[in-house]
Amino acid sequence: MGEPTTLNEMYKLLSADNKKQTAQLTEKIEQSEANVSRHLRKTNRKIVEIEQRNIFLERKIRRNNVLFFGYKVEDPKDLLKLTISKINELLATNIKEDNINNIYKVGKSDSAPTLIEFISYLKKAELFKDPEKLRALKNTPYAISNDLCEEDRRELKTLRKHQKKAHDENKPAKIKGLKLEIDNKLYTAKELEGHSESDIPTTSSETEESSEEESEEEEQNIEQRTSVDQDQNKNSKKRKQHKTPSPGGMKTRSNKKKKTIRKL
């Protein structure tokens, strides 16, 4: 085919060429977008897996721990002995000092709880074997709770909210672990947050073992633990701000000493 002889033919050729280039460019862009989207989905899955793994590890680390609220010890040296003695008195247990792996105050304030790390989960479970003794603590300045990670505290707070909501509507609701039982069905915090008000099943009114006062007390413990974690984070940041002398500074001083020796 010869060269175009008219402007109209030239325009048609240019237009066809532009359409072809536009189509090719569009195809490349769509392919790039698909690749980016696929990469983002893969990255998001990895992030979720890492977060779930971190939660699992943190739960495992805290599994043998409890937090003891409301007990003050003047001398830190007496913390282990007096705390164990007080817990045995309150809960009628027989915890011994060699059952404890570690114990310390979480925070510097007078109201800071004591974290107790047991040597095994079975030893820790002895504190919770008598529900009557635990319920009796609500009439005292003391409280004992599991050492929950941040994710579990958020979930428990959500469960408490929906439990109170169910109680307000005269529906029995009981927290079991990190699930809320309503009408013999267990719901996770995420499932409850996904429900509308009409989705929560209706049941006949019955008495409930867990009172609203216990719910409020547990929620206060969660809030205290959250504030304690925030204090710890602030203190760790302050410690990081104190810089040690740099190796460069040490070298400079040693060089000065060498120069002095040479002058002598």
pLDDT tens per residue, range 120-140: 999 999 999 998 999 999 889
Residue 6 belongs to some domain of the structure: no
Q: Is the pTM of this model over 0.75?
A: no
Residue type, 228: V
d(CA 86, CA 95) in angstroms, rounded, equals 10
Question: Which CATH number is 141's domain given?
Answer: 3.30.70.330
Looking at the fold, whether 217 and 175 belong to one and the same domain comes out as: yes
Per-residue model confidence (pLDDT) at position 6: 76
Contact between 101 and 95 (Cβ < 8 Å): no
Instruction: Give the chain's residues under pLDDT 70.
Output: 1-5, 195-264
Indicate the length of the chain as a whole number.
Answer: 264
Residue pointed to by tokens 């719901």 = 187
d(CA 174, CA 183) in angstroms, rounded, equals 10
Residues 6+ apart with CB under 8 A from 157: 219, 222
Residues 6+ apart with CB under 8 A from 150: 226, 229
Per-residue model confidence as pLDDT tens digits over 16-34: 778 888 888 888 888 888 8
Residue 42 belongs to some domain of the structure: no
Per-residue model confidence (pLDDT) at position 198: 42
d(CA 71, CA 64) in angstroms, rounded, equals 20
Residues 6+ apart with CB under 8 A from 233: none
Residue 25 belongs to some domain of the structure: no
Looking at the fold, whether 78 and 115 belong to one and the same domain comes out as: yes
Looking at the fold, whether 188 and 127 belong to one and the same domain comes out as: no
Q: Where a domain ends, among 112, 146, 180?
A: 146
Based on the structure, what is the number of domains in the chain?
2
Residues 6+ apart with CB under 8 A from 92: 130, 133
Looking at the fold, whether 70 and 129 belong to one and the same domain comes out as: yes
Beta-carbon count within 10 A of 6 CB? 8
Containing 174, the helix (H) or strand (E) segment is: strand 173-176
Domain enclosing residue 205, as ranges: 150-237
